[in-house]
Structure 1
Amino acid sequence: MWFEKSSNEIIKEFNTDRINGLSSREALIRKDKYGPNKLAGKKKKSVLRLLFEQINDVLIYILLAAAVISALLGEVSDAVIIVIVVILNAVIGLIQESRAERALESLKKLSFPKALVKRDGSIQEIASEEVVIGDIVILEAGKYVPCDLRLIETANLKIEESALTGESVPSEKYAENVLEGENISLGDQQNMAFMSTMVTYGRGVGVAVATGMNTEIGKIAKMLDEDEKNLTPLQVKLAQLGKALGFAVLIICVLMFGVAVIQKRDLFEMFLTAISLAVAAVPEGLPAMVTIVLAVGVQRMIKKNAIVRKLPAIETLGSVNIICSDKTGTLTQNKMTVTKFYADGILNDISGLDVKNKVHSALVKDMMLCNDATYSADSKTGDPTEIALLELGAKFDLYKEDENKLHPRANEIPFDSDRKLMTTLNKFGDKYDIITKGAVDNLIKLCNSIYVNDNIVPLTEELKSKIMDASDSMSKDALRVLAAAFKRVDSTEIEIDSMERGLTFVGLVGMIDPPRENVENSIEECRKSGIRTVMITGDHKNTAFAIAKELGIAKDSSQVILGYEFDKLSEEDAEDKIDHLRVFARVSPEHKVKIVKTLKKKGNIVSMTGDGVNDAPSLKTADIGVAMGITGTDVAKDASDMILTDDNFSTIVEAVKEGRNIYNNIRKSIVFLLSCNIGEIIALFIGIVLGWPSILRPIHLLWVNLITDSLPALALGVDPDDPDIMKEKPRNAKEGLFSGKNGALLIGNGILIGIITLSAFYVGTRIYPNSLMHAQTMSFVVLSVSQLFYTLSIRHSEKSMFQVGIFTNKYLIGAIVLGIILQNIVITVPFLASVFKVFRLTLNDWLFVLLLSIIPLIVNETVKILWNRIVKS
């Protein structure tokens, strides 16, 4: 590893010149050998490929086969209706997902256009694509790092690496900090600079050791490119359902021909009947229903500050039982903020600071004057730590611009990473103040007095002990502690070496990247709902644990582990320990992927939230990746399934609620459709076994499945939210669509619908023995209308339709009314009646079929009442 070697070893290994750099000729040779310094693009999917992915589904294939067979048998109208359903399903999905798979394009944008290099003995500005292995690259504040570098010279160099490592503050860099060991994380490789990170302070020189796809950013690009597509739980279950239905269709056809042979029926007639049963077995409206319900859910989520990029992702949220969250920018605000201070002998929260107290005021003003950052309401530049000090002053209407006018800087000693101090000389009236800020351990050694009660008194060992106790207390809370001191002098004629001697201690400030508002409440709501929150961060262990403890994610340090420690565990040990762990600190992108994969192996449905480039691979690996919309990088957004437009962790909880409700709605729609189809199969099959004529024609079944069933199914799909949904625990990922009561509901109602349909046909043949069409019409109407009434009871498995509210879903009421009207039109309009081969029913016929049709509703409501009484007793 490059960070393990000295700068001289690196210079020798890459055969470069520290002073003159590479020659132009050598640079061309190396570019031809290693290629340009850019990330490889990923081939875009064509519209045809995306369209194929939408229709590549067993259910769709069964529908298309049914359409072809229907067309060959002359039932052109049946075939046309099926094809329309398939096209509608594909187009909706295509529109929603057409912008996906652009992660590598966004990564390419992070390769910034210009770089300063030494070539032919002079400094040249070249396109970053032209940087080659062995180039001597010069870094300055405000510049992006063009490739991975082994630093050979530094001067107070700090680099912002949060997008890559997740660390909330810029990393200090050193040229000769030679490290050894394979467990050194990226954030701890202080003699390395990585592609696409930004220099915030100082300057440096480095040797290009990796370019393009061989950089750390490039490794992430490869991980995104190679990661295979994950199917959501609903997609898996629908695929399984499609296979089961396809198998059922084959079994039905074989049984029908078996019955035909035994009963010596006409084989062609039985072939038509088998096709009828095949049509009955497949819910033609199911794919379109699921797609449309998910699309409607997407629109509802937009109003709740969440953009869903892939339709099935919204239902996945409903089954999530673990949310893995990045710390920086997701759980926290991604900006350093002063939260505590120590001055005038008192340690307190920042809310207790009083600028009327002269010691307090001196502490704030000294921190602002000894500061190189700039801050205003519109912009801020500089080191995040120094910006936090200026924001502290702004809270008390103190601004650096005003203070600089009153107390202009006359001299300075810049910050030095060895001294860990910065000193300025500022004019105060006819005198000057030397102001020093920095690490408390270093600064207190330079002080011989302390500013207390508006007096300067000797700094005794007892007072020193109190200062260090205050510093330790802040450090235990993972605060970054800075101290301030001053000394008054008569003029600017003072030797630099003596400026930082005999100082007067003023006070301390402690800062941290604080949690976002309402995040703690959201995490608690998740906990009550059976959802575990796990923090995954590149930050230091103590800092991560402090935030996790404050938010209620972790209770003790045994729940925290370092990334390299987890990576060293075997698969078995990792799976054994991961249920106890709540915080993963100092992790790399590879560690994050392993964590997510281990959680998934344990049968969890995992959501991963994040905003940085380093989060992208794990966002893609998770069951659902959630990116931040404001602070999130393009890479994170394009690798995700959902984007939060307000960057609020609390929005995830709302998304989970929406996901749970949508899944419930889809499931009851599927149960409704399939129980209706089972009813059709039972009615047809029993009728044939009993030797009756076909009680329903293929076009009757197609009408019921595509029109009468589909509209109520869609209405069920947009059923209003259940207010008690978050009182339920996340469903088991292995749980089937028909687990629990749903299976009994499906089969029981299927049998019930089948029996009343057979009853209608039997009574019709007795009342009208010479009119098969009349009996078929009665069974056709009962099959259709009974399913419409049945929707009222299926809205909730426990609450009665009166508790849910009959008119709370106006779409469903409209679908029922419209369904009955359409059914009446089909049997009363002469042209349609001839197409459907049905008979106009009399008033008595209608009364009879309506009485039969309401039976499933009455039975279901009665069962709910009895069930609730049994449970309560």
Structure 2
Amino acid sequence: MWFTLPTDKVVDKLDVDPGAGLTEEEAVARLATYGANKLRGKKKKTVLQLFIAQLQDALIYVLFGAVVITLVMGEYIDAIIILLVIIINAVLGVAQEVKAGKAIEALQKMAAPGALVKRAGVVKEIPAEQVVPGDLLILEAGRFVAADLRLLESANLQIDESALTGESVPAEKDALLVLDNPNTSLGDRANSAFMSTLVTYGRGIGVAVETGMRTEVGKIADVIDRHEEEPTPLELRLDELGKMLGKLAVGVCVLIFIVALLQGRDLAEMFLTAVSLAVASIPEGLAAIVAVVLAIGVTSMAKKNAIIKRLPAVEALGSVNIVCSDKTGTLTQNKMTVTKYFNLSQGEVTVERQNGHAAAEDAKMLAKAMVLCSDATFERGEGTGDPTEIALLAFADELGIDRKNLNDTTKRVGELSFESKRKLMSTLVQENGRLTVYTKGAFDNLLKICTHVLEHGHVVPFSDAHKRKYADAAENISDQALRTLAAAHRPVDSRIDPAVMEKDLIFLGIVGMIDPPREEARRAIEKAKRAGITTLMITGDHKNTAYAIATDLGIANKQAQAITGENIDSYSDAEFASKIADLRVFARVSPQHKVEIVRALKSNGNIVSMTGDGVNDAPS
């Protein structure tokens, strides 16, 4: 486990110079040994293979039997009609799989990023497929991570791992951290970076420890590759019907033959009669009717931007009684949003549409500080940059703070960048000939460097009573699974040394933010509940956050209904299957846990669907 080793042992095991990286000769040799850094997909089926697969069904076998018998009887038109039914059914199935396959391929071909590596002391860009174990990768904002890395250096490094872990907030990384627990979940491996995740802030250097199918995302791809498609309820029922009709046809033939023998009738004539009755018992049009009805369902789903790979999957969706849903981006907006703020003038306030005029001046000062201490941009409801900073700019916009106007009337003349150790960021801003320090960051850290506080528009000494009020408010907001941030400022007479910017500040207030639920998700869950369908949340996010969202959406109403991946590991398969009926929220889970959850639900006779927007949802 690379994350349990210090950096010096990692580079020793990989036999790489941490200053210069691999030589080109070493990289070529390792590429030959480990193979290209890419994910393998399932071998693509030919159209002929897809066509043959459509014919492997008990009802189709019965229809083929009917074709043979009708040909023997000389009923050529009937034989042709039945054969056409079989072909139409197969062609519809093939057409749908080919269409879905092209859509999926288009998604897979999106953005194959390059990698910035250091080889023989030279930093250069190479195709991601050429990255090998031991390569030194340079990480910077906006770049995708091209392999699984053990970080060697990190400077305020934050990585968006939501697609892999379900975390709404970019993960803060620390290269110096050494983890003791070999079972540490992906979301808690702060000294590592993973293939296909996105660097959102800061910079770092990491050494590639796994590439291709050996990466965490590669393991997920491997599970998908080995997964065998299970028959849908409709396919099972049609298969049973086909077998029953086959037995019925044989039974009719045998029975009539026996009657003919007992009555002494002409055996040839009775054989033809028996065969005719057997053929008449076969519903030749059923396969075509089912295929056409399912095709109509596929068309309807396509209009709602849903890709259906196999026709029977439409019916399977209609049979589902449990929906397992990922949280981030599926049940929630995957967009951090300020939902609460607190100051001494107003107390705790829930943020709603206030058109910029209902907010108190102290609240506007809090929002202004957040804006002037931000590197993100926000315009017409859309932002670019760090998700947390975008949320703060949207909050300021909600309270009527005009970012464009602020940009025109202010100028940043100094700054102290965010650092994970300080958990603070400060700027020195010139406005109307005056200089002001603005600071935002973690509540506890900011509290320690403030000597005054804003109360009803007046600056007063920051007493212990004031601090207790803020501490209680911060705890209350955190208990609602919201992430808290605080802001402060201080007017100064002249430009000051950045080293003393974060001193003797005036505390302005705190905000609480969360990735809020989608309104359409709330409506869908309520509709599903009325239809007798239970919705479960499965996420890699923290338990408290997951439970808060689940409670808000009506998925859960008791803490006992929420468990973590660690809890799942402590149960045997039988124990987990017996307990799962009482559970609604599964937090801090891995892709393998998701598979185990779906398996346990199915073992209890449930028909289960899984929905999500991350690669970690695909295996389940």
TM-score normalised by L of structure 2: 0.96
**In the alignment, structure 1 residue 439 sits paired with structure 2 residue 442:** yes
Corresponding residue number in structure 1 for 2:271 = 271
Corresponding residue number in structure 1 for 2:458 = 455
Classify the secondary structure of the residue corresponding to 2:155.
strand
1:469 to 461, 472, 478: 472
How big is the shift at 1:312? 1.3
The answer to whether the 8 A contact 2:41-2:221 is kept is: no
Q: Distance in 1 between matches of 2:107 and 2:572?
A: 32
Q: Distance in 2 between matches of 1:495 and 1:400?
A: 27
Q: Distance in 2 between matches of 1:210 and 1:402?
A: 49
**In the alignment, structure 1 residue 112 sits paired with structure 2 residue 112:** yes
| Compared CA separation, residues 44 and 602, structure 1 to 2 (3 A) | same
2:292 is aligned with what amino acid? Answer: I
Classify the secondary structure of the residue corresponding to 2:18.
coil
What are the within-5 Å matches in structure 2 for residues 608-623 of structure 1?
Answer: 608-618=610-620
Q: Distance in 1 between matches of 2:520 and 2:127?
A: 45
The answer to whether the 8 A contact 2:359-2:399 is kept is: no
| Compared CA separation, residues 305 and 129, structure 1 to 2 (3 A) | closer
Corresponding residue number in structure 2 for 1:67 = 67
Q: CA RMSD in A?
A: 1.8
Q: Distance in 2 between matches of 1:506 and 1:363?
A: 5
1:538 to 520, 537, 540: 540
1:596-617 Cα deviation digits (max 9, x unpaired)? 1111111101111101111111
What are the within-5 Å matches in structure 2 for residues 28-39 of structure 1?
Answer: 28-39=28-39
More strand per residue: 1 or 2?
A: 2
* Contiguous gaps of at least 5 residues in structure 1: 619-873
1:333-362 Cα deviation digits (max 9, x unpaired)? 110011011123411101378566321111
What are the within-5 Å matches in structure 2 for residues 160-175 of structure 1?
Answer: 160-175=160-175
How big is the shift at 1:119? 0.8
More helix per residue: 1 or 2?
A: 1
The share of aligned pairs that are identical, in percent, is 54
Q: Distance in 1 between matches of 2:532 and 2:483?
A: 34
| Compared CA separation, residues 123 and 355, structure 1 to 2 (3 A) | farther
Classify the secondary structure of the residue corresponding to 1:617.
coil
Corresponding residue number in structure 1 for 2:408 = 405
How big is the shift at 1:398? 2.7
| Compared CA separation, residues 615 and 399, structure 1 to 2 (3 A) | farther
| Compared CA separation, residues 610 and 87, structure 1 to 2 (3 A) | same
What are the within-5 Å matches in structure 2 for residues 169-318 of structure 1?
Answer: 169-303=169-303, 306-318=306-318
Q: Distance in 1 between matches of 2:57 and 2:275?
A: 21
Classify the secondary structure of the residue corresponding to 1:408.
strand
How big is the shift at 1:111? 7.3
Classify the secondary structure of the residue corresponding to 1:139.
strand
The answer to whether the 8 A contact 1:111-1:195 is kept is: no
1:279-306 Cα deviation digits (max 9, x unpaired)? 1221111111111111122333445564
* Contiguous gaps of at least 5 residues in structure 2: none
Corresponding residue number in structure 2 for 1:370 = 373
Corresponding residue number in structure 1 for 2:387 = 384
1:368 is aligned with what amino acid? Answer: V
| Compared CA separation, residues 264 and 476, structure 1 to 2 (3 A) | same
What are the within-5 Å matches in structure 2 for residues 348-363 of structure 1?
Answer: 348-351=349-352, 357-363=360-366
Q: Distance in 2 between matches of 1:9 and 1:348?
A: 51
TM-score normalised by L of structure 1: 0.69
1:454 is aligned with what amino acid? Answer: G
The answer to whether the 8 A contact 1:151-1:192 is kept is: yes
Q: Distance in 1 between matches of 2:71 and 2:359?
A: 89
1:820-853 Cα deviation digits (max 9, x unpaired)? xxxxxxxxxxxxxxxxxxxxxxxxxxxxxxxxxx
What are the within-5 Å matches in structure 2 for residues 389-788 of structure 1?
Answer: 389-492=392-495, 494-618=496-620
1:388-443 Cα deviation digits (max 9, x unpaired)? 11112222443433212212101000001011000000012222110010010110
The answer to whether the 8 A contact 2:426-2:439 is kept is: yes
The answer to whether the 8 A contact 1:112-1:146 is kept is: no
Q: Distance in 2 between matches of 1:108 and 1:120?
A: 33
Classify the secondary structure of the residue corresponding to 1:497.
helix
1:350 is aligned with what amino acid? Answer: V
The answer to whether the 8 A contact 1:484-1:505 is kept is: yes
Q: Distance in 1 between matches of 2:471 and 2:594?
A: 37
The answer to whether the 8 A contact 1:338-1:510 is kept is: yes
How big is the shift at 1:125? 1.4
1:743-783 Cα deviation digits (max 9, x unpaired)? xxxxxxxxxxxxxxxxxxxxxxxxxxxxxxxxxxxxxxxxx
The answer to whether the 8 A contact 1:413-1:423 is kept is: yes
The answer to whether the 8 A contact 1:559-1:580 is kept is: yes
What are the within-5 Å matches in structure 2 for residues 7-26 of structure 1?
Answer: 7-26=7-26
The answer to whether the 8 A contact 1:433-1:489 is kept is: yes
Higher RCO (CA 8 Å, separation ≥ 6 residues): 2
Q: Distance in 1 between matches of 2:171 and 2:229?
A: 35
Classify the secondary structure of the residue corresponding to 2:582.
coil
Q: Distance in 2 between matches of 1:206 and 1:463?
A: 44
Classify the secondary structure of the residue corresponding to 2:325.
strand
**Larger Rg belongs to:** 1
Q: Distance in 2 between matches of 1:102 and 1:207?
A: 35
Q: Distance in 2 between matches of 1:101 and 1:592?
A: 24
The answer to whether the 8 A contact 2:4-2:182 is kept is: no
Q: Distance in 1 between matches of 2:404 and 2:150?
A: 38
1:700-737 Cα deviation digits (max 9, x unpaired)? xxxxxxxxxxxxxxxxxxxxxxxxxxxxxxxxxxxxxx
How big is the shift at 1:307? 4.6
1:609-644 Cα deviation digits (max 9, x unpaired)? 1011111111xxxxxxxxxxxxxxxxxxxxxxxxxx
Corresponding residue number in structure 2 for 1:47 = 47
Q: Distance in 2 between matches of 1:114 and 1:304?
A: 34
Classify the secondary structure of the residue corresponding to 1:579.
helix
Q: Distance in 2 between matches of 1:323 and 1:108?
A: 25
Classify the secondary structure of the residue corresponding to 1:250.
helix
The answer to whether the 8 A contact 1:450-1:457 is kept is: yes
1:361-383 Cα deviation digits (max 9, x unpaired)? 11111101100111223853211
| Compared CA separation, residues 416 and 123, structure 1 to 2 (3 A) | same
Deviates more, 1:215-224 or 1:112-121: 112-121
| Compared CA separation, residues 300 and 105, structure 1 to 2 (3 A) | closer
Corresponding residue number in structure 1 for 2:2 = 2
The answer to whether the 8 A contact 1:39-1:108 is kept is: no
2:159 is aligned with what amino acid? Answer: I
How big is the shift at 1:568? 3.2
Q: Distance in 2 between matches of 1:168 and 1:153?
A: 24
The answer to whether the 8 A contact 1:432-1:489 is kept is: yes
Q: Distance in 2 between matches of 1:410 and 1:182?
A: 46
| Compared CA separation, residues 379 and 333, structure 1 to 2 (3 A) | closer
Q: Distance in 2 between matches of 1:128 and 1:263?
A: 81
Corresponding residue number in structure 2 for 1:340 = 340
The answer to whether the 8 A contact 1:593-1:617 is kept is: yes
Q: Distance in 1 between matches of 2:359 and 2:55?
A: 71
Deviates more, 1:361-370 or 1:568-577: 568-577
| Compared CA separation, residues 558 and 183, structure 1 to 2 (3 A) | farther
Q: Distance in 1 between matches of 2:227 and 2:69?
A: 39
Classify the secondary structure of the residue corresponding to 2:618.
helix
The answer to whether the 8 A contact 1:337-1:511 is kept is: yes
How big is the shift at 1:104? 8.6
Q: Distance in 1 between matches of 2:297 and 2:617?
A: 26
Question: Number of matched residues?
Answer: 617
